[in-house]
Chains A and B, each alone.
Chain A
Amino acid sequence: MSTTIERPATAAPVTHVGRPLDRIDGHAKVTGAARYAADAPVGDVLYAVIVQSTVAGGRIAEIDETATRAVSGVVEVLTYRNAPKIPAFPFDFTVPFAEQLAPLQSDEIHYDGQHVALVIAETFEAAREGAVLLRITYAPGPFQATLEGAHETELPDNFFGNAMQVRRADPEAAFAASEITVDATYSTPVENHNPLEPSATVAQWRDGELIVHDASQWVLGSRAAYAKAFSVDETQVRVLAPYIGGGFGCKGFFWAHQTLAAMAAKVTGRAVKLVLSREQMFTSVGHRSSTRQRLRLGASRDGTLRAVLHDVQGESARVGAFFEPAGVVTPMLFAVPALSVSHRVAKLDIPSTTAMRAPGETPGTYALGCAMDELAYACGLDPLEVLRRNETETDGESGLPFSSRNLLACYERGAEAFDWSARTHAPRSMRDGGELIGWGVAAATYPAMRSRGEARVTIDAAGTIDVASATHDLGTGMYTILAQIAADALGADPRAIRVRIGDSAFPLAPVAGGSMSSASIGPAVHAAAERIRREVISIATSAGASPLHGLRADEVHVVDGILRAKDDPARAIAYADVVRLGGSGALEALGVAEPGKEQEEYSFHSFGAQFVEVRYDEELARLRVSRALGVFDCGRVLNAKTARSQMIGGIVWGIGMALLEETVRDDRYGAVVTNNLADYHVPVNADVPAIDVLFVEEPDLKFTALGARGMGEIGITGVAAAIANAVYHATGVRVRDLPIVPEKLLGGAAQAAWRK
């Protein structure tokens, strides 16, 4: 096996990359052939159901298992009294434990929804019945589950490499001296991910080895966590996640239910299947923190920013460490000479917050995007013009130039496609029949990240091309783009390529997070496939029995898996025949790609512009998004269809964030009350209008040879701001508190306007 390390260099020639190829895994998914974690074909399986605490603090006083154990089929009940001991989790993010606590290790309660028991039975029904019959009595203790009154606050310095307390020049003085100022506080609620597939784990111990079918966005991270939790070597653990029914961040870290499934399998000596209920998903796999963001913008009369002060308050679990870095975009998105960003994090007795699609950027672009709109109105200027006037070519935080930044082009193409020039400036000035119309705009951004990634490409004597990497497909199209990349490098048909991912036994891949999978694994696949092609051509031109014998490598090209002499197409040989000529049975190459010194020379970010139209039936306070357009600059587009779908998904979620989504806790109990999809509203089809997506496509060759920056998360950024700005334009009311539900439009100014 040979290894090739890819360095950003020249553009790779593309044929299949970029095309709107249908998902190669699409047929398997729609026919049910694709097996998700809970579908794992594991025989003789036991079912485990979790019981969660119903108090937010205190201790377990008493556990009565009598009725539970009397249910026919119940095999075991695990609580802190009999669960195997697990060493305290190391908590430095080297292993992705989401919470410090190993489950069922003590009688202490740290938050409402903490796992306190596991009922294991021969059938799901018996486990569920056993779970409702378990009687746990608590000695409740004090807890703090609201930002108000939080007595423990942290001022974090850093969030995964981003400074969280930032100062540039003298922002207070610059703000005070500004001709135009905006001072507004925006808030966003707790939100939950709610992927279609709830988290599920099927765990099995075999001869001291742990095999786990897991809904995991990070099979290697989960492998490391299982190994630590059960004190075994990582080589004794295999984690499989070939298909993931959406994750959005809630399957990136390692959660207590995963430990419980493996623990149950160990205790019973059987395979154990554990699927979280929808209700449990609200407390078991993290949530997005609520935020309060005060933004002070100081500007010249022409809308040019002189100072920005962005103060973020959010929450973090006492048992966790994650928080929402909502100020992360403020230092880099616009040209800002004087700046301050602060983050204050209240430590609360709640389940851990976690990454949720574009953590930081999503609430941050909302607040900043609204403040920019308020600034435009304070200056009497078109909001899009104010965005344009604050454009920068340099990342104000690092001082580095952006590798590629086409945000102005996004504004321009978007304005044209949306017909922005037809917008009239004054709030309440656009109508259609009985409805008020509002148009809003905001900038989108997300960093382009990559991590060391590896992929193995194999071609056997039957001509089968296999691509393997421990990366993941969350529904985003990873299978398909890896096939397209390999196909271009090999001169093969992408549909003839077998892609295998989501297995910790495969070559190294990072977490499917930070929108970095394509940029990390794509170049590795490319490098491995290129290597294979060179080897194949080398064999074909040197083996005596080859029709291409004697040619130089540059005299041969490969199309659809056939090598041909360029000047005599009749001289040809198929990949499979070359492999046979080589005599090794198969050719294999490991491609490795990793970031290099370009990281010190440039700032890598994607950008976009979100345009939204809302229609407002004022009498009924009925607000609907009627049109949305996102224009994105993400470098090269690897697959026009899956890229577009990913962006549409982000915009749909932005509609949910702006108008619908809120996880409500009953503050008296510190407990979630909207823990189901009837009370936690996500957009349904009828809420989603025609959405257009455009790409300003400039391959970012300073980033990788493929030139593609990640597309996972940018789609949602800026959407909520564009909607909130459109709502202001339609109604004349600034709602600075998401979601924008009818009662927030019925009060005060909106009501007065209707009464006229």
Chain B
Amino acid sequence: MRAFEYVVADSSAAARALAREVGAARFYAGGTTLVDLMKADVERPQRVVDISRLPLTAIERRGDVVRIGALARNSDVAYDATVAQAFPAVSEALLSGASGQIRNSATIGGNLLQRTRCTYFRETRWRCNKREPGSGCDALDGFNRGHAILGTSDACIATFPGDLPVALAALSAHVVIEGDAGERTIALEDLYLLPGDEPQHETSLAPGELITAIELRVEPLHARSHYLKVRDRASYEFALASVACAVELDGGRIAQARIALGGVATVPWRAVDAEAALAGAPPDDSAFRHAADVALSGARTRAHNGYKVELAKRAIVRALRTVCGGAA
């Protein structure tokens, strides 16, 4: 860790101004990712702008939209009655992540920007295009058991590590962003950038922009949702593969479905083709398996992560079966 300047912001406008004054600034909310990476010398902010006291913690329902303040704590959101009822996948995803202590500290906005657990990213001795653009990628031919099989590039196969954003992707959440020109709202999926040739660019946030809230729409589809996480141990671990799904049934058919994958992709991965394959299909294992095959059809594996293809498919089948109420 290197010496840095620590400042406390008393408004979101002030926070953005403080951040723009220096070349390398970081917002500090829960600190659960940032401080770790500063200790590892991966994050080297000149200035840390503490936004943790800003009044952005509310969870409010306005009509059919639930707006969750960016500084709401993961625990508070997970146990919020409206969230648990209207968006079960969100609550389940939050509770499957990290530990009780970390969930009490981590914030929703920060969680969207959680950085990869790629071991080659997290220690400065390795080559990493994300950390040091153009330096190469030691993960490609290294120990890549945990690495992504979807959305990868020749420059980066780092897995997006989060759970919540996967659930949010499946539920078509929006992100509210405050910038100099005021507030803008984008689809969650538009927040994330595929690594491509420039994996150092992870989000579409402009310098000095601040996430202030996420928004979710209350609708029957989202109430029938589920998050399934598969991992080596029973708790306190990142996903080997995870699935967020939502299904709306119409008689004996699937009217519409949403599927997003975690633990297997470089960004929260919406499986749009698989969703299309499910529309109008009966809710049975055969349809689920077909959707799973479609979802993973573009997978590119490396030496140690080939198992993720089959594991993700099985997780999709299980999650769909669960959310359809064992209808299969």
Binding site for B on A (CB under 8 A): 54, 71, 125, 128-129, 132-133, 279, 619-622, 624, 659-660, 664, 666, 668, 671, 673-676, 678-679, 681, 683-687, 741-743, 746-747, 751
Interchain CB contact (< 8 A) of A673 among B120, B141, B314, B317: B120
Interchain CB contact (< 8 A) of A619 among B141, B238, B314: B314
CA A624 – CA B233 in complex, angstroms? 8
In the complex, the answer to whether A620 meets B318 with C-beta atoms within 8 Å is yes
B3 proximal to A (CB < 8 A): yes
Contacts of A747 in B (CB 8 A): 307
Contacts of A620 in B (CB 8 A): 230, 311, 314-315, 318
Closest CB in chain A relative to B315 CB, distance in Å: 6
B328 proximal to A (CB < 8 A): no
CA A751 – CA B307 in complex, angstroms? 11
In the complex, the answer to whether A666 meets B307 with C-beta atoms within 8 Å is no
Task: Determine the residue in chain A with the shortest Cβ distance to B306.
Answer: A743
CA A383 – CA B171 in complex, angstroms? 51
Given contacts A125-B1, A666-B143, contact A742 B230 (CB under 8 A): yes
In the complex, the answer to whether B2 meets A132 with C-beta atoms within 8 Å is yes
Between A and B, 5 residue pairs with Cβ closer than 8 Å are A620-B230, A676-B122, A681-B233, A684-B237, A742-B232
In the complex, the answer to whether A668 meets B142 with C-beta atoms within 8 Å is yes
CA A128 – CA B3 in complex, angstroms? 10
Given contacts A619-B318, A666-B138, A743-B307, contact A684 B233 (CB under 8 A): yes
18 extra interchain contacts, Cβ-Cβ under 8 A, other than A132-B41, A666-B142?
Answer: A54-B125, A125-B3, A128-B1, A129-B1, A132-B124, A133-B2, A619-B317, A624-B234, A659-B232, A664-B143, A673-B119, A674-B143, A678-B117, A679-B117, A681-B232, A683-B233, A685-B235, A743-B311
Q: Of residues 303 to 322 in B, which have CB atoms within 8 Å of A's CB atoms?
A: 306-307, 310-311, 314-315, 317-318
Closest CB in chain A relative to B184 CB, distance in Å: 34
The 8 A CB mask of B138-162 against A (1 = contact, 0 = none) is 1001110110000000000000000
Contacts of A619 in B (CB 8 A): 314, 317-318
B79 proximal to A (CB < 8 A): no
Closest CB in chain B relative to A619 CB, distance in Å: 5
Given contacts A621-B311, A746-B311, contact A686 B233 (CB under 8 A): yes
In the complex, the answer to whether B307 meets A742 with C-beta atoms within 8 Å is yes
CA A668 – CA B303 in complex, angstroms? 14
Q: Of residues 96 to 146 in B, which have CB atoms within 8 Å of A's CB atoms?
A: 117, 119-120, 122-125, 138, 141-143, 145-146
Closest CB in chain B relative to A292 CB, distance in Å: 20
In the complex, the answer to whether A678 meets B233 with C-beta atoms within 8 Å is no
Contacts of A746 in B (CB 8 A): 307, 310-311
CA A129 – CA B39 in complex, angstroms? 9
Task: Determine the residue in chain B with the shortest Cβ distance to A129.
Answer: B2
B6 proximal to A (CB < 8 A): no
Interface core residue of B306, B310, B314 (most chain A CB under 10 Å): B314
Q: How many residues of B contact A (CB 8 A)?
A: 34
In the complex, the answer to whether A684 meets B3 with C-beta atoms within 8 Å is no
Given contacts A125-B1, A664-B143, contact A687 B235 (CB under 8 A): yes
- Of all A-B residue pairs in the complex, the 4 with the closest CB atoms, nearest first, are A743-B307, A686-B234, A686-B235, A54-B125
Interchain CB contact (< 8 A) of A674 among B119, B141, B230, B307: B119
In the complex, the answer to whether A660 meets B232 with C-beta atoms within 8 Å is yes
CA A71 – CA B138 in complex, angstroms? 31
The 8 A CB mask of B223-241 against A (1 = contact, 0 = none) is 0000000101111111010
Task: Determine the residue in chain A with the shortest Cβ distance to B125.
Answer: A54
In the complex, the answer to whether A621 meets B1 with C-beta atoms within 8 Å is no
Closest CB in chain A relative to B327 CB, distance in Å: 16
CA A666 – CA B310 in complex, angstroms? 25
Interface core residue of B117, B142, B317 (most chain A CB under 10 Å): B142
In the complex, the answer to whether B230 meets A622 with C-beta atoms within 8 Å is yes
Task: Determine the residue in chain A with the shortest Cβ distance to B122.
Answer: A676
In the complex, the answer to whether A742 meets B238 with C-beta atoms within 8 Å is no
In the complex, the answer to whether B307 meets A673 with C-beta atoms within 8 Å is no
Contacts of A673 in B (CB 8 A): 119-120, 142-143
CA A746 – CA B240 in complex, angstroms? 13
In the complex, the answer to whether B235 meets A684 with C-beta atoms within 8 Å is yes
Contacts of B1 in A (CB 8 A): 125, 128-129, 132
Closest CB in chain A relative to B100 CB, distance in Å: 11
CA A277 – CA B10 in complex, angstroms? 35
Task: Determine the residue in chain A with the shortest Cβ distance to B119.
Answer: A673
CA A71 – CA B240 in complex, angstroms? 41
Closest CB in chain B relative to A484 CB, distance in Å: 36
Contacts of B41 in A (CB 8 A): 132
Closest CB in chain A relative to B256 CB, distance in Å: 25
Closest CB in chain B relative to A514 CB, distance in Å: 31
Closest CB in chain A relative to B2 CB, distance in Å: 5
Contacts of B306 in A (CB 8 A): 743
In the complex, the answer to whether B119 meets A742 with C-beta atoms within 8 Å is no
Task: Determine the residue in chain A with the shortest Cβ distance to B3.
Answer: A129
Contacts of B234 in A (CB 8 A): 624, 684, 686-687
CA A129 – CA B41 in complex, angstroms? 9
Task: Determine the residue in chain B with the shortest Cβ distance to A620.
Answer: B230
Closest CB in chain A relative to B122 CB, distance in Å: 8
Given contacts A129-B1, A673-B119, contact A668 B141 (CB under 8 A): yes
CA A683 – CA B234 in complex, angstroms? 8
In the complex, the answer to whether A660 meets B233 with C-beta atoms within 8 Å is yes
CA A742 – CA B230 in complex, angstroms? 10
CA A375 – CA B122 in complex, angstroms? 46
Closest CB in chain A relative to B230 CB, distance in Å: 5
Q: Of residues 234 to 290 in B, which have CB atoms within 8 Å of A's CB atoms?
A: 234-238, 240
Contacts of B123 in A (CB 8 A): 279, 675
Contacts of A686 in B (CB 8 A): 233-236
Task: Determine the residue in chain B with the shortest Cβ distance to A666.
Answer: B142
Task: Determine the residue in chain A with the shortest Cβ distance to B120.
Answer: A673
Task: Determine the residue in chain B with the shortest Cβ distance to A677.
Answer: B236
Interchain CB contact (< 8 A) of A742 among B143, B240, B317: B240
Contacts of A683 in B (CB 8 A): 233
Given contacts A54-B125, A684-B233, contact A679 B119 (CB under 8 A): yes
Interchain CB contact (< 8 A) of B237 among A622, A676, A681: A681
Task: Determine the residue in chain B with the shortest Cβ distance to A625.
Answer: B234
CA A622 – CA B120 in complex, angstroms? 27
CA A128 – CA B40 in complex, angstroms? 10
Contacts of B311 in A (CB 8 A): 620-621, 742-743, 746
Closest CB in chain B relative to A678 CB, distance in Å: 6
CA A743 – CA B123 in complex, angstroms? 26
CA A128 – CA B1 in complex, angstroms? 6
Closest CB in chain B relative to A125 CB, distance in Å: 7
Contacts of B232 in A (CB 8 A): 659-660, 681, 741-742
Closest CB in chain B relative to A137 CB, distance in Å: 13
